[in-house]
Structures are given as structure tokens and as C-alpha cells.
Amino acid sequence: MGDEAVVWGIRGGRFGDADALFLQSDCVALGWHKTGDLAQLSPTREAFKDRVAVAYGGTIKAGAIPNIAGQMFRFVHELKTGDLVAYPSKLDRQVHLGRVRSAYRYGAPEEAFPHRRAVQWLREVPRTSFSQGALCELGAQMSFFQIKTYAEEFRSAAEAKAQPTEIPDNADEAAFIAEDVEETTQDFVLKQLAHELKGHPLAHFVAHVLRAMGYRTRVSPEGPDRGIDILAHKDELGFEPPIVKVQVKSAGGTVGEPLVSALYGTVAPAEFGLFVTLGTFSTQARNFANGKSNLRLIDGAGLVVLVLEHYDRLDAPYKAIIPLKRIYVPEPLDDGVAR
């Protein structure tokens, strides 16, 4: 894989519908299943437009036909073996990077994503490892598109080279599109927390969020803490239940069941355990917590929800680290397209 490898971005559906297909079947795919086998069409954009018009002409706006046809044409004819693909998963919050291994093939017509290319997945990289501009380009409002401006950043990530540690000054030059505002905000908050509050400072921030929620907190000194970073309670002295024991992990990636189990081992029957991470939790960890009424897991996405809900009560220094302002965006209209 040379430095000139073309980089493409692909989406897995609005709600991550194709996530399992992509990652378990080692492929990337497009929907629009009513178009049939695209290999049967002549290799011209006009032929693709005609096919989309016949398949979806009664259900989509005429202006959308060239856009959809163009994506499908590029997927079949411009995406080459050896090119790189970047897939931002909505489920595990990782950017999965892979190399295309095959030409286009058509699956069964009843499949939701029948247009496929085989992929060798190379790496998965936390979204917070990328610059804000790269994330915005990856958030294009198309299912399949070429990444140009930040292509080198994705090539470096695929080759396990160092990722940027600062948000570029021109990050706000990228367009914030209505449908992706929430996801872009989540990426921004997590990136700022990961960069500015690495390690023990994140425990102080989580304690501050808990105080904004009405708790009183005590943060353990930096160093060995037997898995407990914060003690949270409602009364001033910390004698009355509930007592909440909190563990905080600032590293990205996935927290497994052993760490969650270790925290729970410190929780007395009348106490509660809370595990907070900027990353995600494994299925085993979540299954373990689901069976415990006094244990709660908060991943990066959940922490962002709490930050946004209590943002007005955060102290000025934290607001300076996470500068946000309230905006209004138009509700996306359902165009009726079957993907």
C-alpha cells in the first residue's frame, strides 16, 4: 500500500444497519437493492442514472437520482482493488480501516445491502484519534464518497503512524450538516476530554459532573486507588446511603469484563458501583452489569449525554475545554428511499 492509495469513506446506514455485515463478512456494501445487478449495466453514468430512475423514480426526488447513481457508479467502477476504505461504525465508535480485495459482486436481490466489495480490515482506530476536520469529511451526507482533503491522515492511520494530538485551527472550516451535528458534537467532546483531561484529571471532571447532578464527591489521590477513583454520596458527611464507588478510565478502546468485575468486587450490598470510560464496554462486560441492580456502566457516548444535559452547571474552566453553544437545526425530511 503506497502513499498514493485512494481513500474512500462508506457509511453503514443511518443506524448502523450494515455494521455486522461489514465487520463479520469482511466487506463493504451499498443498499438500493431494487436496482439489481449493476455489473450488467454499461459502464457509463447515464446507464446508472437510468437504472436508478426506473427503480426509484416514483419514490425519490428527481434531483436525488444523479447523486445515488454517481455513488453506485464509483462503487462499481472507480473503487479499485488495493484502495483504502474508512468505515465509521456507529455501534463501537471506531473508524475501521481496510483495503479492498475484490471487484464488485452482486448478492441476493432480497438482501438490504446486495452491492458488495470484499475488504481486508487492517485496523480499528478510535474516532478521537482523528482531527476534527477529518471526522467532518468522514461525515459526508453520502453513503459512499472519496476522501480527499484528509486522505493522508487516514493513510497514516491505516499504517499505524502517529495520529494528530491537537485539533487543527481550521477545524471549523468543515461544514456541519444537520443530520451529523449530534455525532460531530459527540466526537468533539470526547476528543477534548481525551486530549485535555488524560488520566487522573478526567476523574476530577467526572466528579464535577456528578456534583452538577446533585452529588457530593471525594476524589482519590493520584496513585494506587484499589480501583476506586471517586466516592459519591448525597449527604455532607458521606455516611448516608446511597454510596457510589466510581472508577474512571480515560483511555479509548474497549473495557472488558475483568475490570468491571474487579470494581464490583469492592461494592458492598448497600452500595453502588459506577464505571465511566471514554471508550466502550465489551459485550461480556455489559452482560455482567445487566445482572447487577447496583452497577452502572457509562461509556463515552453516555458521558457526552450527561455533559450536554448538565453543561450549564459546569464551571468555567471546563466550559473553556469544551466550548459549546446551543443551536437549532432543521429536522431531516424522510425522502422515502428504501436503502
Q: How far is CA 282 from the centre of its chain?
A: 15
Q: What is the pLDDT of residue 13?
A: 84
Alpha-carbon torsion (294, 243, 267, 302), positive or negative: positive
pLDDT in tens, 209-251: 999 999 999 999 887 656 799 999 987 766 677 899 999 998 8
Domains of the chain: 7-175 (3.10.590), 196-321 (3.40.1350.10)
Give dist(CA 52, CA 54) in Å, integer.
5
- Residues in Cβ contact with 305 at an 8 Å cutoff, skipping those fewer than 6 apart: none
* CA proximity to 8, closest of 149, 175, 187, 148: 148
H or E element, residue 260: helix 257-264
Residue linked to cell 446511603: 241
Which residue pairs, CB below 8 angstroms and at least 24 apart, start in 225-230?
A: 226/266, 227/262, 227/263, 227/266, 228/263, 228/266, 229/200, 229/203, 230/203, 230/206
Specify whether the CB–CB gap between 77 and 117 falls below 8 A: no
Q: What is the pTM of this model?
A: 0.62
- Using alpha carbons only, give the angle 257, 262, 265 rounded to the nearest 5 degrees: 125
| pLDDT tens over the chain, length 339 residues | 445 789 999 998 877 889 999 999 999 999 999 999 999 999 999 999 999 999 998 888 888 899 999 999 999 999 999 999 999 998 888 999 999 999 999 988 788 899 999 999 999 998 888 888 898 888 877 899 999 999 999 999 998 765 444 444 433 333 334 446 677 788 889 989 998 998 999 999 999 999 999 999 999 988 765 679 999 998 776 667 789 999 999 887 889 999 999 999 999 988 999 999 999 999 999 999 998 999 999 999 899 999 999 999 999 999 999 998 877 655 554 444 444
Give dist(CA 294, CA 260) in Å, integer.
12
Q: How far is CA 2 from the centre of its chain?
A: 27
Q: Give the DSSP letter string of 207-234.
A: HHHHHHTT-EEEEPPSS--TT--EEEES
Specify whether the CB–CB gap between 207 and 230 falls below 8 A: yes
* CA proximity to 7, closest of 88, 64, 70: 88
Specify whether the CB–CB gap between 217 and 232 falls below 8 A: yes
Residue linked to cell 459482486: 105
Q: What is the pLDDT of residue 17?
A: 87
Q: What is the pLDDT of residue 202?
A: 95
pLDDT in tens, 17-45: 899 999 999 999 999 999 999 999 999 99
Q: What is the pLDDT of residue 102?
A: 95
- Grouping H, G, I as helix, E, B as strand and the rest as coil, residue 108 is coil
Q: What is the pLDDT of residue 106?
A: 94
